[in-house]
Structure 1
Amino acid sequence: MRALGTVSPILVVGPSWVGDMVMAGSLIESLRIREPGRPIDVIAPPSALPIARLIRGVRRTIPLGLGHGEFGLVARWKAGRALRDECYGKAIILPRAFKAAIVPFAAGIPERIGYAAEGRSILLTEARQDRDRKTARTIDRFVALGAPQGDQLRAPRPVLHLPDGALEAANSRFPLAGEGPVMALCPGAEYGPAKRWPAARFARLAAMAHAAGYRVRVMGGPKDAPIGEEIAALAGVPVDMLAGRTSLLEAAAILGGADVVISNDSGLMHVAGA
């Protein structure tokens, strides 16, 4: 029998991108305040779930193991059917893609809220208009989906909660020699060189920071390793090159323990800010 009303769990269909998952934390916090006592689960691609696990109020994370851009109708339908016994009362679908609404529909969740896009309104019980998409902050658009339509809400600041000992564990695996403040550089960017500060500029900054007594760490994912190596080579000073070497949890812990973070527009920028 399906749970009803204010006691039924909520399923959040989360975004694929790390930065967007950080911003989804504001929605989850607003739900936690607005609807206390309702468990909140997040389903999303595995790459973003380490961030979801750091958001207060998330009971469970559910991996949706499909490649980025993969439609996967059968896999999504099966994933939704597998969730029918969870008795979710509400689903909030953050991505605008048609495919993102398939799982909640297949799960038979009675209240399915998302923005009208790609002709998917037939899969939603409440298809919201997204007229301000190009001007509104993503974080505000996410939070709005968790409130009655038309409510003017202030989005709470996203906050990530690291597990106890996370920074110590990261520093134990990647020890940093010497003493002094730490500057973390995040030279990667979601959309390539067009939104990326040049490696030579990061290298010059690393040299200046080293002269000022900072220990410099370069952070990023595997695709950021080449520019990280370039920065380390150009800097001419000791640089701890960690791009491509850490897990997402370790990166979050190291950024949280840094005194200064310099970042391009990337997922790690949002992680550092939270």
Structure 2
Amino acid sequence: MTEPLLRRLHARGERITVGALPWVAPAYRAMPQVDAVIEFPFRHGGLQWRERRALARQIEGGFDTAYVLPNSLKSALLPFLASIPRRVGYLGEARVGLLTHRLKNPKDKPPMVAFYSALSGEPGLEHDRPQLALPAEQVDEVLRAQGLERGGYVVMAPGAEYGPAKRWPHFGALAQRIAQPVVLLGSGKEADLCEAIALQAPGRTRNLAGKTSLLEAFALIAGAGNVVSNDSGLMHVAAAFGVPQVALFGSSSPLHTPPLNDRAQVVWLKQDPDYLPPLDCAPCFQRECPLGHFRCLNDVSAQRVHALL
């Protein structure tokens, strides 16, 4: 979702270095507008002052502008410690003194692509769409290694890092209905979840969760005939490659994080006038259903999703 911002900056002549955690750094290396990637040696939790100060000394004097995309205090620390003259970001977490150019956070949750692109200071944000591309030979090499043909398989991404309230529970039932090979993608933490799905449709379902690099997962998505996913990072990857996809929303909202893809079909019971009683609780943006019924995803049938493939 940050790719359109980087494309805007590149188009106006800025040379871009992205600082990212190791697990997401490969995504930026796949973007041609990015000149370099610095992998952050940081962990979740704590300011890790010593590590940030050490990295700040290494990069000091090397940059004119820092665009701080996360809204956290610690994400704004590194550009401040590195004395980068112009530091652009949204107000949040008492970081007024750390930023030199501050945008107010919108009252309502806007689409995240436009939220990030606004840091460029340019108009026309409503037209921004993420774009990814891999060389055809790179995609073909990955498919050959897996014994797959372009367009001849379906990718499922049943995980969602945020929590259970974003995970549709009927992927296994859907896999049983699909005649094509099914490839399950996700992180190592989602391997057991994917294995449980694979066991429901043995023979033609392949669990690759935790067994691919991020770029290999990108290639498998780029070559797929269709992608079915929750509202997750891999959903946005599929959208950026422009492949046919079905995106399932529960506790979150496609008004906030939509798959920006003309070939995407969104399933969200909140917007279904025939679904009764209406989902007045959605979107709650909670990690787990606060009401305990999980209707927003439980009531989306495998049959309904299969009809969209």
Is the pair's TM-score, using the shorter chain for normalization, greater than 0.5? yes
TM-aligned CA deviation for residue 155 of structure 1: 4.5
In the alignment, the residues of structure 2 paired with residue 244 and residue 119 of structure 1 have an alpha-carbon distance, to the nearest angstrom, of 37
Which residue matches 2:283? none
Distance change in 2, residues 1:96/1:180 (3 Å): closer
Instruction: Say yes or no: does 1:184 pair with 2:158.
Output: no
- Say which of 116, 119, 122 aligns to 1:142: 116
Which residue matches 1:159? 131
Q: Is the 8 A contact 1:216 1:238 kept in 2?
A: yes
Higher RCO (CA-CA < 8 Å; seq separation 6+) = 1
Distance change in 2, residues 1:159/1:152 (3 Å): closer
Give the secondary-structure state (helix, strand or coil) at the position aligned to 2:178.
helix
In the alignment, the residues of structure 2 paired with residue 168 and residue 254 of structure 1 have an alpha-carbon distance, to the nearest angstrom, of 9
Structure-to-structure mapping, 1:1-274, within 5 angstroms: 23-33=1-11, 35-36=12-13, 38-86=14-62, 88-132=63-107, 134-147=108-121, 151=123, 153-163=125-135, 165-176=137-148, 181-198=152-169, 201-210=170-179, 214-274=180-240
Q: Give me the TM-score of the superposition, normalised by structure 1.
A: 0.82
Deviations 1:17-40 (A, max 9, x none): xxxxxx11011012122x22x211
Q: Unpaired segments of 5 or more residues in structure 2?
A: 241-309
TM-aligned CA deviation for residue 196 of structure 1: 0.7
TM-aligned CA deviation for residue 153 of structure 1: 3.1
Note the aligned Cα RMSD (angstroms): 1.8
Q: Is the 8 A contact 2:185 2:207 kept in 1?
A: yes
In the alignment, the residues of structure 2 paired with residue 180 and residue 100 of structure 1 have an alpha-carbon distance, to the nearest angstrom, of 40
Q: Is the 8 A contact 2:167 2:230 kept in 1?
A: yes
TM-aligned CA deviation for residue 81 of structure 1: 1.8
In the alignment, the residues of structure 2 paired with residue 154 and residue 40 of structure 1 have an alpha-carbon distance, to the nearest angstrom, of 23
Q: Residue type of the partner of 1:161?
A: A
Q: Unpaired segments of 5 or more residues in structure 1?
A: 1-22
In the alignment, the residues of structure 1 paired with residue 144 and residue 41 of structure 2 have an alpha-carbon distance, to the nearest angstrom, of 31
Give the secondary-structure state (helix, strand or coil) at the position aligned to 2:5.
helix
Q: Is the 8 A contact 2:175 2:200 kept in 1?
A: no
In the alignment, the residues of structure 1 paired with residue 151 and residue 95 of structure 2 have an alpha-carbon distance, to the nearest angstrom, of 53
Q: Give me the TM-score of the superposition, normalised by structure 2.
A: 0.73
TM-aligned CA deviation for residue 164 of structure 1: 5.1
Identity of aligned residues (%): 38
Deviations 1:228-253 (A, max 9, x none): 11111112442111111101000001
In the alignment, the residues of structure 2 paired with residue 169 and residue 221 of structure 1 have an alpha-carbon distance, to the nearest angstrom, of 21
Aligned residue pairs, count: 240
Q: Residue type of the partner of 1:143?
A: S
Once the two structures are overlaid, the 10-residue window that deviates more, 134-143 or 178-187, is 178-187
